[in-house]
């Protein structure tokens, strides 16, 4: 379910923290509230298996990688109606690469712009969420 919402919205950090807390507690003790200090840090658990982790996704990084797919769609001016609306409403003639949001734009649009800045040096032409996630890690 998180994958679905992560590809549509930039999830608030509090929501991601709560989901991460539930996953941590389940992994460490199978309980909703786990009181002991774990032997292994969560960042290490989120590493890929090849790097000694369990391959569990870091939800904060995963959400950014999923939202970057929207950024890529805006940059490539794909067909969906909402992308055409975004170009007509916000970007207009400026171009996506040179666009910076104004002060009165929504918080979501500003966050989307931050994800765009995060991925400005992404090396590939075609974006895939899994590759973007690994690149961010």
pLDDT tens, residue by residue, 30-53: 666 666 777 778 888 888 899 888
Burial class (CB in 10 A: 0-12, 13-18, 19+), 46: buried
Question: What span, in angstroms and rounded, lies between the C-alpha atoms of 109 and 111?
Answer: 5
The tokens for 7 are 């590809």
Alpha helix stretches (DSSP H) within the chain: 2-6, 13-29, 42-45, 59-76, 81-86, 107-118, 129-136
State the pLDDT at residue 115: 92
Q: What is the residue range of 104's domain?
A: 60-136
Q: Which long-range contacts link 45-52 to residues 24+ away (Cβ below 8 Å)?
A: 47/137, 48/134, 48/137
Question: What span, in angstroms and rounded, lies between the C-alpha atoms of 13 and 78?
Answer: 29
The tokens for 104 are 């009165």
Q: Are residues 70 and 126 located together in one domain of the fold?
A: yes
Q: Are residues 107 and 51 located together in one domain of the fold?
A: no
State the pLDDT at residue 75: 85
Question: How many other CB atoms are found less than 10 A from the CB of residue 58?
Answer: 20
pTM, whole model, 2 decimals?
0.80
- In the block, residue with structure tokens 């171009």: 95
Look at the chain and report how many structural domains it folds into. Answer: 2
Mean pLDDT across the stretch 20-34? 77
Give the end of a domain, one of 10, 30, 59: 59
State the pLDDT at residue 97: 83
Q: Are residues 20 and 81 located together in one domain of the fold?
A: no
- In the block, residue with structure tokens 């899994």: 130
State the pLDDT at residue 83: 84
State the pLDDT at residue 62: 92
State the pLDDT at residue 41: 83
């Amino acid at each position: 379910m998180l994958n679905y919402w992560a590809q549509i919205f930039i999830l608030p950090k509090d929501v991601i923290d709560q989901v991460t807390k539930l996953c941590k507690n389940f992994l460490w003790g199978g309980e909703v509230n786990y009181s002991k200090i774990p032997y292994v840090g969560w960042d290490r658990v989120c590493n890929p298996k090849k790097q000694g982790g369990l391959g569990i996704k870091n939800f904060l990084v995963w959400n950014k990688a999923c939202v970057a797919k929207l950024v890529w769609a805006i940059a490539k001016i794909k067909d969906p109606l909402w992308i055409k609306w975004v170009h007509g409403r916000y970007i207009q003639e400026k171009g996506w690469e040179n666009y910076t949001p104004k002060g009165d734009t929504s918080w979501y649009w500003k966050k989307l712009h931050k994800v765009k800045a995060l991925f400005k040096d992404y090396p590939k032409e075609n974006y895939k969420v899994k590759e973007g996630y690994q690149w961010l890690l």
